[in-house]
A and B are shown apart, each in its own frame.
Chain A
């Protein structure tokens, strides 16, 4: 598998004291969509600016398709496209003129310039407004124009820093749909930073979470979610007299019922896929790694005990839960946690 980006032990120290990046190791596969998630100040923008040759790292190496971002920075600049978080087009000229100027800066030969510009406009769906000055554009159109400027030279990697920040849902969707169709046509690697978990979940092939200048977790979105081992199955049990967990028709009510509940719960907890189980208010809650795999076995076990289930709900963890777990804690909380674990 070809790697688009390979980062080893990368650090960046600002003014000799702030460790913006503190030993980043990361590999990004070519021709995929990669999302870098992290809270504010976690180092994600710094990492992108090192990768796009704006900053030199303090130590460590980073390569883009084999080119070192420090030693071969000129070659790196030839194969990347970059859209910063802030607006990056000239507003007092037209969209077409913005593309024309970028085409000239990048040295797109005049024979194919017009075609490339038209392709870029079309792939971002803004060909209708190309002749208007950018001042008249909406936020979503500006963003698509910026991406069009970056796609103009058909880069091998495109870096997007918070590409849909401040856009409404339909504009976000338009940006992504256009980007994905371009990507599938040209095999461009997409590397983006975001706060929007749903976006990372929907559009990315791989995700990494950065916190305090370190990559704390990486993998596909579903791997990350599974790694929480925390799907919750909630079952509403049928409260008929026959149910051994609730029935109190015989005289031994209190003590015997408790014993029976205890025994059944122990049996459920002992099931292979079940990590924990609770019973309250007629609800049986089970923590499992993968609900779809665990459910049949659980159902069999309950049926053996003559327990019937009226309704089942599986709550899967979202990428938000993953993010909160790996990046949401303050460092001191994390230390406390570690001490407890030890």
Chain B
């Protein structure tokens, strides 16, 4: 019964997100501009530098998974802003007075953000094809890659909700969000292989969940090397579970 209530709330949260997207798609389009620039400008220029060892993959293809993930994670990392806004208004108070568990609220919102992130990636995906990026043609690989996008985005959205429940104001949240996103991106294998990094940065990349997500998406979409896929998914699942639990526990504090 309690599980039923929770599932119901999660689906309601996903539906809410979809309905908001339906009413206002501007955000999805404007957020697609930056990643497209990364691919079209940065990727094109940097592909002339032949020093980055990409195992023979064209550089623009090499960074496509990273750029896709960056754009989706951007959506997730700032998802907490919605929560901060809902806290400032009375929406959160009201949700917490509804007969559903707080876990359901957190997980439902995180999943909803994951869905939004996948929609975001779906906008960029065809643009990448137009730019000449060659994707693996196996549809199962592509679906698995999107699954990974969804899972990692959900995890980062939960992290964002956790930050929101600690920071509570828009300004402080923005500060933390900005401070998180760039190191996440640069201390990962999104733009270059980990082997090129100094040892200190390598150890950060090693615990950065984004590294595993990029590895999996690159394997599934571009290189076809899927030997480490199992490890990648396991790492991201562990990250998701840990962050869902912490965010749910912390969420109670948000309205106090």
Q: Does B172 contact A (CB under 8 A)?
A: no
Could you tell me if B89 and A88 are in contact, using CB atoms closer than 8 angstroms? yes
Q: Does A312 contact B (CB under 8 A)?
A: no
Residues on A with beta carbons closer than 8 Å to the beta carbon of B96: 54
Q: Does A90 contact B (CB under 8 A)?
A: yes
Could you list which residues of chain A lie within 8 angstroms of chain B, going by C-beta atoms?
Answer: 49, 52-55, 74, 77-78, 80, 82-90, 92-94, 97, 101-102, 104-107, 133, 149
Could you list which residues of chain B lie within 8 angstroms of chain A, going by C-beta atoms?
Answer: 4-5, 8-9, 11-12, 15-16, 19-20, 23-24, 88-91, 93-100, 255-256
B97: contacting residue among A82, A90, A93, A101, CB under 8 A: A82
Q: Which residue of B lies closest to A93 (CB)?
A: B19
Residues on B with beta carbons closer than 8 Å to the beta carbon of A49: 93
Could you tell me if A105 and B15 are in contact, using CB atoms closer than 8 angstroms? no
Residues on B with beta carbons closer than 8 Å to the beta carbon of A106: 98-99
Q: Which residue of A lies closest to B11 (CB)?
A: A104
Residues on A with beta carbons closer than 8 Å to the beta carbon of B94: 82-84, 88, 149
The CA-CA distance from A54 to B256 in the complex, in Å, is 8
CB distance from A83 to the nearest CB of B (A): 8
Could you tell me if A93 and B20 are in contact, using CB atoms closer than 8 angstroms? yes
Q: Which residue of B lies closest to A150 (CB)?
A: B94
CB distance from A93 to the nearest CB of B (A): 5
Q: Which residue of A lies closest to B101 (CB)?
A: A74
The CA-CA distance from A94 to B16 in the complex, in Å, is 11
B20: contacting residue among A83, A90, A107, CB under 8 A: A90
The CA-CA distance from A52 to B15 in the complex, in Å, is 26
The CA-CA distance from A97 to B23 in the complex, in Å, is 11
The CA-CA distance from A326 to B229 in the complex, in Å, is 71
How many pairs, one residue from A and one from B, have CB atoms within 8 Å of each other in the complex? 72
The CA-CA distance from A117 to B23 in the complex, in Å, is 21
CB distance from B184 to the nearest CB of A (A): 28
Could you tell me if A54 and B19 are in contact, using CB atoms closer than 8 angstroms? no
Residues on A with beta carbons closer than 8 Å to the beta carbon of B90: 83-88
Could you tell me if B99 and A77 are in contact, using CB atoms closer than 8 angstroms? yes
Could you tell me if A104 and B97 are in contact, using CB atoms closer than 8 angstroms? no
Q: Given that A74-B99, A88-B90 are known contacts, is A104 also in contact with B19, CB under 8 Å in the complex? A: no
Could you tell me if A133 and B23 are in contact, using CB atoms closer than 8 angstroms? yes
Could you tell me if B93 and A107 are in contact, using CB atoms closer than 8 angstroms? no
Could you tell me if A101 and B20 are in contact, using CB atoms closer than 8 angstroms? no
Could you tell me if A89 and B91 are in contact, using CB atoms closer than 8 angstroms? yes
Could you tell me if A54 and B255 are in contact, using CB atoms closer than 8 angstroms? yes
Residues on B with beta carbons closer than 8 Å to the beta carbon of A101: 12, 15-16, 19
Residues on A with beta carbons closer than 8 Å to the beta carbon of B100: 105
Does more than half of chain B's interface fall in helix, strand or loop, or is it mixed?
helix
Could you tell me if A86 and B98 are in contact, using CB atoms closer than 8 angstroms? no
4 closest A-B pairs by beta carbon, nearest first, are A84-B90, A88-B90, A86-B90, A104-B12
Could you tell me if A92 and B24 are in contact, using CB atoms closer than 8 angstroms? yes
Could you tell me if B89 and A104 are in contact, using CB atoms closer than 8 angstroms? no
Residues on B with beta carbons closer than 8 Å to the beta carbon of A54: 93, 96-97, 255
Residues on A with beta carbons closer than 8 Å to the beta carbon of B20: 90, 92-93
Could you tell me if B23 and A77 are in contact, using CB atoms closer than 8 angstroms? no
CB distance from A27 to the nearest CB of B (A): 22
Q: Which residue of B lies closest to A91 (CB)?
A: B89
Could you tell me if A53 and B15 are in contact, using CB atoms closer than 8 angstroms? no
Residues on B with beta carbons closer than 8 Å to the beta carbon of A55: 256
The CA-CA distance from A86 to B9 in the complex, in Å, is 22
Apart from A52-B97, A82-B97, A107-B99, list 11 A-B contacts with CB within 8 A. Answer: A54-B97, A77-B99, A89-B91, A93-B20, A101-B16, A104-B12, A104-B15, A105-B9, A105-B12, A107-B4, A107-B8
Residues on A with beta carbons closer than 8 Å to the beta carbon of B88: 86
* Sample of 17 A–B contacts (CB below 8 Å): A53-B97, A74-B99, A77-B98, A82-B93, A82-B97, A85-B90, A86-B88, A86-B89, A90-B91, A94-B23, A101-B15, A102-B98, A104-B8, A104-B9, A104-B11, A105-B98, A107-B8
CB distance from A304 to the nearest CB of B (A): 64
Residues on B with beta carbons closer than 8 Å to the beta carbon of A133: 23
Residues on B with beta carbons closer than 8 Å to the beta carbon of A88: 89-91, 93-94
Could you tell me if A93 and B16 are in contact, using CB atoms closer than 8 angstroms? yes
The CA-CA distance from A48 to B96 in the complex, in Å, is 14
CB distance from A158 to the nearest CB of B (A): 11
The CA-CA distance from A216 to B98 in the complex, in Å, is 31
The CA-CA distance from A106 to B98 in the complex, in Å, is 7
The CA-CA distance from A101 to B19 in the complex, in Å, is 10
Residues on B with beta carbons closer than 8 Å to the beta carbon of A83: 90, 94
The CA-CA distance from A92 to B17 in the complex, in Å, is 10
CB distance from B123 to the nearest CB of A (A): 19
Residues on A with beta carbons closer than 8 Å to the beta carbon of B23: 92-94, 133
CB distance from B112 to the nearest CB of A (A): 11
The CA-CA distance from A162 to B20 in the complex, in Å, is 28
Residues on A with beta carbons closer than 8 Å to the beta carbon of B11: 104
Q: Which residue of B lies closest to A102 (CB)?
A: B98
Could you tell me if B89 and A87 are in contact, using CB atoms closer than 8 angstroms? yes
Residues on A with beta carbons closer than 8 Å to the beta carbon of B5: 107
Q: Given that A53-B97, A82-B94, A106-B98 are known contacts, is A97 also in contact with B89, CB under 8 Å in the complex? A: no
